[in-house]
Amino acid sequence: MIQTNDITQEYLNQIHIRIFNYGYACMGKEWVGNIVSPPYGRLYYISGGDGYICKDGKEIPLEKGHCYLFPSGYSFSHGCKTSLQQLYFHVKLLFGEDTDLLQGCQEWMEYTPGMEKIQQLIRISQSEELYSSLLLRQEIYASVLALFQKYDLRPRVVQFSPCVQQAIAYVKSHLSLRLRVSEVAAHGYVSESRLTKQFRAEMGISLGRYIDDMVLLEAEKRLAHTEFTVQQISEQLGFGDPFYFSRRFKSKYGSSPRMYRKIKSV
């Protein structure tokens, strides 16, 4: 007898982790800033130093041998007294193309994989072999699962309505700070008021903020992975004025575009 489960098979095929940026960082006092409603989660494996985050006036130390997950949308400030060493990943745990399963998490989480495991991950991350990348992805899945189990979290899949799906696709293919909600609604042949209400109900944020988040995320990617100048990126994404771009970027990610390019906003 063969037993199958179509829903489980669909979930297995739809779940994947997308990594936007990663690295092993040895930082000094320059690691300071504010992270405001980030569009992805931050996974930190701490190997040394005296880093910390601040939330609601409380300072939370980042302890050696610990792993921390700050979910998508979670705002905090950070710094270190003297230094910080960490392996970091900017990630989304996706179901399909748009549902971020980490976005439903309200608070940061931590567990203790230990220094031996973290040192192993650092070594794997520095290899250029395909096999090492597979191992690293497996370990990221394992860390996220360990955190879900520790905090008894059960991610939930939200099925987006057609108008919200169309809006998401249109925003991604027309990334610009000049993009207006009215234009997105017109493309989907839906009223602006209906789309606005539906988008907030299903995504948990306004469509206007989603546009801003996606534009700034794209700016971050271009700073990290292209040779475009700050002015070129500003023009490409509809900011017009590079000083305005710098102000908006710093407000979102806690550092100027030039500083981010230097430290990759770990």
Percent pLDDT > 70 in the chain is 98
* Predicted pLDDT of residue 20: 86
SS3 of 37-89: CCCCEEEEEEEEEEEEEEECCEEEECCCCCEEEECCCCCEEEEEEEEEEEEEE
* Predicted pLDDT of residue 73: 84
pLDDT score of 3 more than 80: no
Question: 3-state class of 258 per DSSP?
Answer: helix
* Predicted pLDDT of residue 106: 78
Residue 48 phi/psi, 5-degree rounding, is 170, 170
What is the distance between the alpha carbons of residues 252 and 217, in angstroms, rounded to a whole number?
10
pLDDT score of 133 more than 90: yes
Q: Is 191 left (phi over 0), alpha (psi -120 to 50) or beta?
A: beta
Contact 219, 245 (CB under 8 A): yes
Q: Which pLDDT band, with edges at 50, 70 and 90, does 186 fall under?
A: very high
Contact 113, 87 (CB under 8 A): no
Last residue of a domain, which of 85, 116, 150?
Answer: 150
* Predicted pLDDT of residue 255: 79
Interval 204-218 mean pLDDT: 90
* Predicted pLDDT of residue 108: 94
Same domain for 134 and 15, yes or no, is yes
* Predicted pLDDT of residue 266: 53
* Owning domain of residue 180: 162-263
Same domain for 17 and 133, yes or no, is yes
Which 8-state DSSP code applies to residue 174? S
What is the distance between the alpha carbons of residues 198 and 207, in angstroms, rounded to a whole number?
9
Place of tokens 């606005």: 196
Same domain for 112 and 218, yes or no, is no
* Predicted pLDDT of residue 261: 82
Same domain for 118 and 202, yes or no, is no
Same domain for 230 and 251, yes or no, is yes
- Mean pLDDT for the chain? 89
Residue 192 lies in a domain: yes
Those residues whose C-beta lies under 8 Å from the C-beta of residue 92, and which sit 6 or more positions away, are: 17, 18, 20, 40, 41, 72, 100, 102
Interval 252-259 mean pLDDT: 83
Number of domains the chain is built from? 2
* Predicted pLDDT of residue 265: 47
Contact 29, 53 (CB under 8 A): no
Last residue of a domain, which of 150, 182, 204?
Answer: 150
Give how far Cα 101 sits from Cα of 42, 73, 91, 113, 158, Å.
Answer: 13, 12, 11, 22, 9
Q: Quick count: other Cβ atoms within 10 Å of Cβ 236?
A: 15
Last residue of a domain, which of 106, 128, 150?
Answer: 150
Q: What is the CATH number of the domain that holds 105?
A: 2.60.120.280
Same domain for 116 and 20, yes or no, is yes
Percent pLDDT > 90 in the chain is 60
What's the token pair of residue 42?
């931050």
Residue 140 lies in a domain: yes
Q: What is the CATH number of the domain that holds 203?
A: 1.10.10.60
Same domain for 143 and 168, yes or no, is no
pLDDT in tens, 223-239: 888 889 999 999 999 99
Same domain for 123 and 44, yes or no, is yes
Which 8-state DSSP code applies to residue 226? -
